Structure 1
Amino acid sequence: MTNLNRRQLLTAGALGAVAIPATAAGSRAAQGTPTAYGSSYPNNPVTTGAQSAAASHWSTLEGQKVGVITNPTGILTDLRTIVDDMHESGAVDIVGVFGPEHGFRGTAQAGDSEGTHPDPRTGLTVYDAYGANVARMTSMFRTAGVETVVFDIQDVGARFYTYIWTMYTAMQAAVAVGARFVVLDRPNPIGGKAIGPMMTTPWTSGVGAKEIVQAHGMTVGELARYFDGEFLAADAGSRLDELSVIEVRGWRRDVPYAVTGLPWVMPSPNMPTPGTALVYPGTGMFEGTNLSEGRGTTRPFELVGAPFVDYKWAERLAGLGLPGVGFREAYFSPTFSKHTGKVCGGVQLHVTDPSTFDPMRAAVEMLVAAKALYPDFDWRYDSYDPARPYWIDKLTGSQRLRRQISAGASADEVVGAWRDELAGFDARRKQYLLYRGPAN
């Protein structure tokens, strides 16, 4: 566990380097395990922060009034939720549970929540934290009497996945009420490499509240350190009095989730597998177009298409020979969301090697090709926000990508445009990183 107060965080780089156990210990780990991805990865057991905390009988939370921000991904190795385990142990005084998008028990679809209600299993009050601003989150913490905030949600590594912004809002509220903040860390399922364009201030929203790149390459624990060090003083008036990250043991930044040995619980209804997470930072951008991003199918974000798309798109993409991914011509009929009940032509992405696959490059190539091939291709236009009507701008952080592709730019030009800002972010984040691997 890494405990950081405001002064200690000034030396966060040194702390991060000391705190991490070596994952190459032992001959079995040194050899690595051959995988279906065509690479070898260390096969030490991976232990989540939640599991470590539970193994110590939740001693880190003893004697505190605890508010827990979690969802169905906040589980232990026996597949029970941390809230149920904490509650039944009698060791933790839980004064409230705070449900993000999709809810604490995960019953709500995208853009929805479960509302505030008593949890039927534990009797605890579950507060609706989805979309809460700082004032509302602060009010909920005060109503519940929270002294320590615990965050345990499996993120998927993309800026527009909303759980990290619920965490940041909660961090600001924790400053306001003087609460300790504890992150029970989990692996980043797409690894530790930062990719993509930077969010710019005019385009911040609930799918990108602060200036980080599109695939941040950090765990939620590392992000909490980054947020505390880079943003909180300006946004909340000061940094956290105490930030504790209970670290993942046995994980490296280059290890895909599929070989961690950890069970995958859907973080949201449209994130069914670790493979979905691999493509999501890129194909999630198709939410900002009139193509279906595969919602309403069993392979959301891996299937992308529209009624006006034909075989030529897959043929062109397959011909690019992009590393780590193949494109299969596919046809599907979404049961909800865009093009419901209509046959869509398109592609399915098949990731063959996560270590070489770049989801941003793949998605940009897909966008460039779709724009060139199909006159019916268009950007989603939201009339409710006339000042910022294009959803793709909120997803990518500025108008640049949309304008470049609309003007006929190549994928090389689009990707090259964010090279310097990505390098700047990569340099800034280094002092907050906790885990070893080629990306740091």
Structure 2
Amino acid sequence: MNLDFKIKNLLLICLIFLGVFNQYYSQTPHKNDFKTGADQPELYLPLLKGKTVGVVTNQTGLMKDRTHVVDFLVKNGITIKSIFAPEHGFRGDADAGEKVKNGVDIKTGIPIVSLYGNNKKPKPEQLKDIDIVVFDIQDVGVRFYTYISTLTYLMEAGAENKVEIMVLDRPNPHDGYTDGPVLKKKWTSFVGMHEVPVVYGLTIGEYGKMVNGEKWLRNGVQAKYTLIPMKNYHKNQRYHMLDKPSPNLPNDKAINLYPSLCFFEGTQVSVGRGTDLPFQIYGSPWTVGLPYQFTPKPNFGAKDPFLNGKLCYGENLSAYSEDLRTLNLEWVIKAYQHYKNPQQDFFLKNLWFDTLSGTDELRKQIIAGKSMKEIKSSWKSDLENFEKIRTKYVVYEN
């Protein structure tokens, strides 16, 4: 009798648990229900019908079935006057910093206008007769990744020339947290246009809303801005990317390590450009105490890589298991401590490290021997102030 009673109780508990689980599961959005802005044409096609359109995109402007958004728009009778190509080009095959040329898309015959090099902001004549520009690029949510700067210049040109800007939103692989030094105005550049931290915790669509709402465009102008939001997107989830966002961010691991390792670009240390593991390794000929060895050589993603042909000593982080949701400075600090080269300083003379950091304070803190904990605590106040701005423009739940 006692055993039967226990079994009945156990069954009752199981039934209650299943009921609660089913209720939760039926009400919780799942990754299978997730859609990017591009995958919801019912939201944007009616807004584009009968208009002359420009498109800012690259190889990442894909729909779920891998149809490119430009091909989809043409197929659906949308008149596209120009494709505007950001850093790395329309097909995403140009090196970082390499000149992106104007041309014609072979598949559609649509003219391609470069938005890199000397023409980062569309000129009035390039927007002539265009009613609306659609922006669809997979960003990585890091301040020095230049697609948010391209969007800023586009919005500014749109505001000045009465051209609407529409953003088809995509996931941010560094969403749900903020970290890093907040940029100081003195260090404004194409790799940091606004006073935001290195990791700012907004999708590119939310970021555009913030730029517009805070009147950060030149002369305080505001663009006519339309956001096509994602469906069932959650900031703390991570989503598969249909294509690599640029040649040297080939996979999720490189993207995850990118905010922490990109500081090396301002030093005498390679981040693996010219190897099979870009942004997953680091090293230098002058850090011989570190265990991993590699030699950068020209390849698809780096025609003339930094430290080309030189044996480098460093670390291989490609098997680093942690999903970083924080900026990790231990590698930069460790490389600085191991660096021995009487001819050249660890930091490049052009102060590119400070430009990437958005401040000269981080470099000075590393030279002074500050710990990662001490450095990160110095960011606290600025991050709290930024959070007050950021929360005004959040569209999606955590």
2:82 corresponding residue in structure 1: 96
Matched-pair identity in %: 34
Most deviating of 397-406 and 410-419: 410-419
Kept in 2, the 8 Å contact 1:379–1:390? The answer is no
CA distance in 2, matches of 1:43, 1:175: 36
1:367 corresponding residue in structure 2: 332
Kept in 2, the 8 Å contact 1:138–1:174? The answer is no
Instruction: Tell me: CA distance 1:347–1:25, structure 2 relative to 1, closer, same or farther (3 Å).
Output: farther
CA distance in 2, matches of 1:76, 1:124: 20
Please list the CA deviations of residues 44-73 of structure 1 after superposition, one character each: whole Å capped at 9, or x if unmatched.
Answer: 4321001102x5682221121111000000
1:254 corresponding residue in structure 2: 236
1:78 corresponding residue in structure 2: 65
How far does residue 278 in structure 1 lie from its aligned partner after superposition?
0.9
Correspondence 1:4-403 to 2 at 5 A:
27-28=24-25, 42-53=30-41, 55=42, 58-90=45-77, 92-131=78-117, 137-143=122-128, 145-232=129-216, 235-240=218-223, 242-257=224-239, 262-310=240-288, 312-313=289-290, 329-336=291-298, 337-349=305-317, 350-354=319-323, 357-360=324-327, 362=328, 364-376=329-341, 378-382=345-349, 389-403=350-364
How far does residue 380 in structure 1 lie from its aligned partner after superposition?
4.1
- Aligned with 1:277: secondary structure? helix
Which has the greater radius of gyration?
Answer: 2
Kept in 1, the 8 Å contact 2:215–2:221? The answer is no
Runs ≥4 in structure 1, deviation > 4 angstroms?
Answer: 24-32
Gaps of 5+ in 2: 1-20, 299-304
CA distance in 2, matches of 1:416, 1:132: 39
CA distance in 1, matches of 2:345, 2:372: 17
Kept in 2, the 8 Å contact 1:304–1:348? The answer is yes
How far does residue 82 in structure 1 lie from its aligned partner after superposition?
0.5
CA distance in 1, matches of 2:285, 2:382: 36
Letter in 1 for 2:179: I
CA distance in 1, matches of 2:27, 2:296: 45
- Aligned with 1:272: secondary structure? coil
Most deviating of 371-380 and 210-219: 371-380
Instruction: Tell me: CA distance 1:338–1:171, structure 2 relative to 1, closer, same or farther (3 Å).
Output: same
Letter in 1 for 2:236: D
Gaps of 5+ in 1: 1-23, 33-41, 314-328, 383-388
How far does residue 293 in structure 1 lie from its aligned partner after superposition?
0.8
Kept in 2, the 8 Å contact 1:176–1:236? The answer is no
CA distance in 2, matches of 1:436, 1:353: 23
Please list the CA deviations of residues 105-153 of structure 1 after superposition, one character each: whole Å capped at 9, or x if unmatched.
Answer: 223111124311121111111101114567x51334334x221111100
CA distance in 2, matches of 1:61, 1:177: 18
How far does residue 426 in structure 1 lie from its aligned partner after superposition?
1.3
Instruction: Tell me: CA distance 1:212–1:189, structure 2 relative to 1, closer, same or farther (3 Å).
Output: same
Kept in 2, the 8 Å contact 1:48–1:249? The answer is yes
CA distance in 2, matches of 1:56, 1:434: 16
* TM-score after normalising by structure 2: 0.87
- Aligned with 2:40: secondary structure? helix
Kept in 2, the 8 Å contact 1:107–1:114? The answer is no
Instruction: Tell me: CA distance 1:126–1:236, structure 2 relative to 1, closer, same or farther (3 Å).
Output: farther
Letter in 1 for 2:222: R
Please list the CA deviations of residues 212-231 of structure 1 after superposition, one character each: whole Å capped at 9, or x if unmatched.
Answer: 11011110000000100113
Instruction: Tell me: CA distance 1:133–1:202, structure 2 relative to 1, closer, same or farther (3 Å).
Output: farther
Kept in 1, the 8 Å contact 2:175–2:235? The answer is yes
How far does residue 418 in structure 1 lie from its aligned partner after superposition?
1.1
Please list the CA deviations of residues 333-390 of structure 1 after superposition, one character each: whole Å capped at 9, or x if unmatched.
Answer: 2114122222222112244242xx2452x2x2112222223333834435xxxxxx21
How far does residue 436 in structure 1 lie from its aligned partner after superposition?
0.5
- Aligned with 1:98: secondary structure? strand
- Aligned with 2:233: secondary structure? coil
CA distance in 1, matches of 2:107, 2:367: 52
Kindly report the root-mean-square deviation, in angstroms, between the aligned alpha carbons of the 2 structures. Answer: 2.3
How far does residue 250 in structure 1 lie from its aligned partner after superposition?
1.8
CA distance in 2, matches of 1:30, 1:237: 42
- Aligned with 1:94: secondary structure? strand
Kept in 2, the 8 Å contact 1:294–1:300? The answer is yes
Kept in 1, the 8 Å contact 2:336–2:346? The answer is no
Kept in 1, the 8 Å contact 2:43–2:228? The answer is no
